[in-house]
Chain A
Amino acid sequence: MKPAPFAYAKVRTLKEAVALLAKHKDDARLLAGGQSLIATLNMRLSAPELLIDINGIKGLDGIAKKGKFVEIGALARHAQVEHSDIVARHAPLIALAMPHIGHPAIRNRGTFGGSIAFADPAAELPACLLALGGEIDIAGPKGKRKVKADAFFKGLFETALRPQEMVTAIRVPAADKNTRVGFAELARRHGDYAIVGLAASARAGGKGLVDVRLAFFGVGATPVRAKNAEAALASSNIDTAVAALDLAPHDDVQATARVKKHLAGVLLRRVAEQLMEPRP
């Protein structure tokens, strides 16, 4: 199918983007990478009056280490993040996840901020952000604010973003020598949305792990932390953690709830082993 007619405005500044959003409210959509938005326009699942193209805003695509954090601009393309030395060294979980996001042609356009703002429940980056305890920078008509990942993903494609706000950057704690990360997903075809996926982080402490954060995706309306399994993995072993998995996935076109639950356990075993290995 073809998109319904819409108007198009290319903005050059954050201020312009926010002003247009405020003016057109729900009738407008922000166009960043467009790799989900244009697909939904083509299928007429979405028919906004106005597309606000934010690709021309300068300074929103940086990747930098700032103190104890790694900051990724909302307009950083997936391909740029995938090949970033800073991400590879200081945000290894994100580096592990990047090759699983779409395909090369998709990663050349899709943006980090777009993936977070769109909040597809089967997408990799929202789960990574949740596993890392990251935070999201937001700009709106009333100025700027920050929201923690734990409070950002609220429901199916629903986030803490208000209609007139946009994501400007994402921040995650920079890895140190005690940081452990793990990532695995199962998809029908490499690069497709996951049937089930798991992004995890932890810290090496004593003889085991502390601060375990397990963020599953493809198993609910949002990325989901499996808190009982987190506690079990920190205090006990992999078998106990798998037994403690308290996920409640629904059937979807890819798999039944039962299959998803089983696969979540399989992934937890794989990722737990990654978490237990020291980083090179």
Chain B
Amino acid sequence: MSNRVLDISLTVNGERLQTRVDARKTLVDFLREDLALTGSHIGCEHGVCGACTVRVNGEIVRGCLMLAVQCDGGSVETIEGLSDSGEVADLQAAFEQRNALQCGYCTPGMLATAQDLLKRGDVPSRDEIREHLSGNYCRCTGYHAIVDAVEAVAHARAGAKK
């Protein structure tokens, strides 16, 4: 009943898969090493930096603070999935346009977290954007350009809906 190696089945970016994982393997290591989905980055490995942010069962989580084995039966979406589906295409374009990234290390986590806020459907204030992104470190931009980009997309999406 308890084991160091376990069989799991899960959906990653819409694809069903069955595999065997070490119990000790974190979700982000599993994504990067076993599935070669290297868009999820590893920064601090203790939940502080947010570079490993992915969606599990529709909600953003820290990929370093969840075990792969805990995703058995669940659904995981990474930046690769969010990119391919076009769900964050407008955010990606806005980040590029406003120089909301330099080295890009934090960007996958930033995009996943920003999309988590924007999918609520309203237009958040700049303070709300900052608060929602508070768990994602960026050491390049000073955040202003990121907040600008997220705000612009929020307005654009609200405008497009009218």
Contacts and interface: CB of A to CB of B under 8 A. Distances in A.
On whether the two chains bind one another, the answer is yes
Interface of A: 1-10, 20, 31, 34-35, 38-39, 41-43, 50-51, 53, 55, 79, 99, 102-106, 108-109, 189-191
Contacts of B47: 35, 38-39, 102, 106
Contacts of B40: none
B65 A39 contact: yes
Nearest to A53: B70
Contacts of A6: 4, 23-24
B62 to A, nearest CB: 5
Contact of A7 (B2, B29, B53, B60): B2
Contacts, number: 101
Given A5-B4, A8-B6, A38-B67, A108 B59 contact: yes
B131 interface: yes
A149 to B, nearest CB: 26
B78 interface: no
Contacts of A102: 47, 135
A254 to B, nearest CB: 14
Given A42-B45, A108-B59, 5 more contacts: A6-B24, A7-B4, A8-B23, A50-B2, A190-B131
A108 B74 CA distance: 15
A9 B1 contact: yes
Contacts of A10: 72
- B interface SS class: mixed
A102 to B, nearest CB: 7
Contacts of B139: none
Contacts of A51: 23, 67
A6 B65 CA distance: 15
B127 to A, nearest CB: 10
A62 to B, nearest CB: 19
Contacts of A53: 70
B64 interface: yes
B83 interface: no
A146 B7 CA distance: 38
Nearest to B72: A10
B70 A35 contact: no
A189 B58 CA distance: 26
B34 interface: no
Contacts of A189: 134
Nearest to B60: A105
Contact of B24 (A3, A9, A79, A99): A3
Contacts of B69: 8
B134 A4 contact: no
B52 to A, nearest CB: 9
B46 A43 contact: yes
8 contacts: A3-B24, A6-B4, A8-B3, A8-B67, A10-B72, A79-B59, A103-B135, A191-B135
A109 B65 contact: yes
Contacts of A109: 61-62, 65-66
Interface string B58-93: 011110111101101000000000000000000000
